[in-house]
């Protein structure tokens, strides 16, 4: 478990297919961002006990299987903890992969959960404040992907809007050493706009679903944007 200020990174399968979730410390407890893989529940609960605070909220950055994997088991363990997801990705969580008229008409990709029982209690939109975390709509990887900025530290937890494993990249930009987030991305053009939006927040730290946290990440984020822009020309 890596600690950076109020932010703790919990990683599973670190050497093969790293999947991160995050615990954000608040005064009264911990907010869990994403639920990793089906077997991750024990590791997540163990991390919260090591920090010494209970998990009081579960936020999902998006509805892919490697971000909701342990959700059912976590809810069995923590039945009173509310689950948050964006209004848009709540549809995917419920098995609806239809697209709206105004959205790019490319199929939603990646592991859409098929057997998940847990449903969200609270649906989020742009600007919602959950404890110290402000919600930022960053569609692209999925239509309803969200990122979150800690208003105390300017750390951004970006889900799969970026990856750092195999080199920093915007969602949809294939990195040969770790191509999987790109393969699961719905709209590269939409991802690019969201990546630029995140830079505009001037983050002090970038935390992603796959790969290590980056301090002072703006220069590298801008480089990743230029790389995808070049490929889309």
Q: The domain spanning residue 186 has which CATH number?
A: 3.60.15.10
pLDDT of residue 34: 98
Average of per-residue pLDDT across 137-166: 98
Cα(211)–Cα(90) distance, integer angstroms: 25
pLDDT category at 15 given cuts 50, 70, 90 is confident
pLDDT of residue 4: 79
Average of per-residue pLDDT across 41-57: 97
Q: How many domains does the chain have?
A: 1
Name the residue range of residue 183's domain. Answer: 2-232
Cα(164)–Cα(195) distance, integer angstroms: 13
Q: Tens digit of pLDDT for each residue in 153-204? A: 999 999 999 999 999 999 999 999 999 999 999 999 999 999 999 999 999 9
- Assess whether pLDDT exceeds 90 at residue 5: no
Q: Tens digit of pLDDT for each residue in 95-120? A: 999 999 999 999 999 999 999 999 99
Cα(231)–Cα(152) distance, integer angstroms: 36
The SS3 call for residue 233 is coil
* CA-based torsion, 208, 214, 217, 221: positive or negative: negative
pLDDT category at 142 given cuts 50, 70, 90 is very high
* Ranges of H-type helices in 94-217: 180-183, 188-200
* DSSP 8-state assignment for residue 165: T
Q: Structure tokens of 92? A: 């995917």
The SS3 call for residue 145 is coil
The C-alpha torsion from 154 through 129 and 144 to 183, rounded to 10°, is 30
pLDDT of residue 192: 98
Percent of the chain with pLDDT over 70: 100
pLDDT of residue 1: 81
Q: Structure tokens of 106? A: 């490319």
Average pLDDT of the chain to the nearest whole number: 97
pTM of model > 0.95: yes
Which backbone phi and psi does 10 adopt, to 5 degrees? -115, 120
Under 8 Å between Cβ of 37 and 12: yes
Percent of the chain with pLDDT over 90: 96
- Assess whether pLDDT exceeds 90 at residue 60: yes
């Amino acid at each position: 478990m890596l600690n950076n200020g109020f932010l703790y990174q919990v990683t599973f399968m670190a050497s093969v297919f790293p999947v991160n979730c995050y615990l954000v410390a608040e005064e009264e407890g911990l907010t869990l961002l994403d639920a990793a893989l089906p077997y991750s529940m024990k590791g997540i609960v163990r991390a919260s006990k090591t920090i010494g605070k209970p998990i009081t909220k579960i936020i999902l950055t998006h509805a892919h299987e490697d971000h909701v994997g342990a959700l059912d088991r976590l809810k069995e363990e923590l039945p009173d903890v509310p689950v948050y997801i964006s209004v848009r990705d709540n549809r995917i969580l419920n098995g609806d992969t239809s697209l709206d008229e105004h959205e790019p008409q490319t199929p939603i990709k990646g592991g859409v959960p098929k057997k998940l029982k847990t449903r969200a209690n609270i649906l989020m939109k742009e600007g919602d404040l959950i404890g110290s975390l402000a919600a930022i709509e960053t569609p692209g990887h999925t239509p309803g992907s969200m990122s979150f900025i800690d208003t105390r530290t300017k750390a951004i937890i970006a889900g799969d809007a970026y990856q750092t494993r195999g080199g920093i990249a915007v969602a949809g930009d294939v990195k040969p050493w770790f191509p999987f987030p790109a393969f699961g991305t719905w709209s590269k053009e939409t991802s690019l706009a969201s990546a630029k939006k995140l830079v505009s927040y001037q983050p002090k730290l970038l935390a992603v679903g796959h790969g290590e946290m980056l301090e002072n990440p703006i220069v590298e984020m801008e480089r990743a944007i230029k790389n995808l822009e070049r490929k889309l020309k």
